[in-house]
Amino acid sequence: MSERLQKVLARAGLGSRRGLEEAITAGRVTINGETATLGQRVSSADAVTLDGQTIPSESLFEETRLVLAYHKPEGEICSRHDTEGRPTIFDRLPKLATGRWIAVGRLDINTSGLILLTTDGELANRLMHPSSGVDREYLVRVHGEVTPDHLEALTSGVILDDGPARFTDIVIHPEDDEEKRNRWFYVALMEGRNREVRRLWESQGLQVNRLKRVRYGCIFLPSFLKQGHYVELGQKEVDDLAKLVDMPSRKVPKMSPQELKDSKRRLGKKAQAPRKGGASKTAPRTAPAKSRSGKENWTTARAKSPRKPSTRGR
């Protein structure tokens, strides 16, 4: 069976779909010694190279998929390299024999919380694309007097510099105190434009001074996961993510004992304690959530989110 070249390369974690299409167009990919063309089909019998490096056939066609949940601290960036030498989320991730980790969306340097990373470029692309309708949920602390009119405007829609935007859901945190100048909310939206959560609140004359992503689609940020640490998602959780964007199940390989040992040693050297005064320290307490079936599972009970995923707007 043959598949389109850019799809196979993206699935192997060799880059984003757009980046790989640009690489093919630029002549950086060959098939059986001939320069590849965009949309060309390839099978396991073909020899594929990218930038002169032969890509093992098993990495291109083996039906496997890895996904990590990473707890990003403030102060890290989501770029793979930084000219200013700032720490990136990729500094802490386990090494891969082939392919690379692809971040599902971004968080700005002052935002903490959940980042999903995968070896499957096609999965990452679909989870990020607004047409897939996969929502993101944030815990946000807002400074200022928040009125019902503000909340109505933010869910109805406002015009930002790059077009209309809105929250699909706003829920007041159960332990929020409306008498205080700092208010706590959970907000959800369907896309991840640059600083969109902050800009939405700023459109109402309000200032966000704490922002933490607590959910992406069906995956919650686990409460046990310290800042700067990651956890591998299991077969069920990865399959649930794939179902959100109509992708088939693929095997989730387990790390070898040596890989697990190396991973723990790397985290022990690089992980830092959460910052004092960070969102994880100042946020109100939360209670465990349950799935719609009433049974607690990895993505709900261990994440200790106080509410179910928003389904509004899906």
Residues marked as catalytic: 108
- The H or E element containing residue 161 is none
Taken in order 185, 136, 83, 278, is the CA torsion positive or negative? Answer: positive
> 3-4 and 41-42 as β-strands: parallel, antiparallel, unpaired?
antiparallel
Name beta bridge partners: 67: 118
DSSP calls for 170-234: EEE-TT--TTSSEEEEEEEES---TTHHHHHHHTTT-EEEEEEEEEETTEEPPTT--TT-EEE--
**Rounded Cα–Cα distance for residues 48 and 2 (Å):** 13
Q: Which amino acid is at 93?
A: L
CB 124 within 8 A of CB 114: no
**Rounded Cα–Cα distance for residues 137 and 100 (Å):** 26
- The H or E element containing residue 165 is strand 163-165
Name beta bridge partners: 54: 49
Question: For 192-196, which contacts have Cβ atoms below 8 Å and span 24 or more sequence positions?
Answer: 192/105, 192/106, 192/128, 192/136, 193/162, 193/165, 194/108, 195/108, 196/160, 196/165
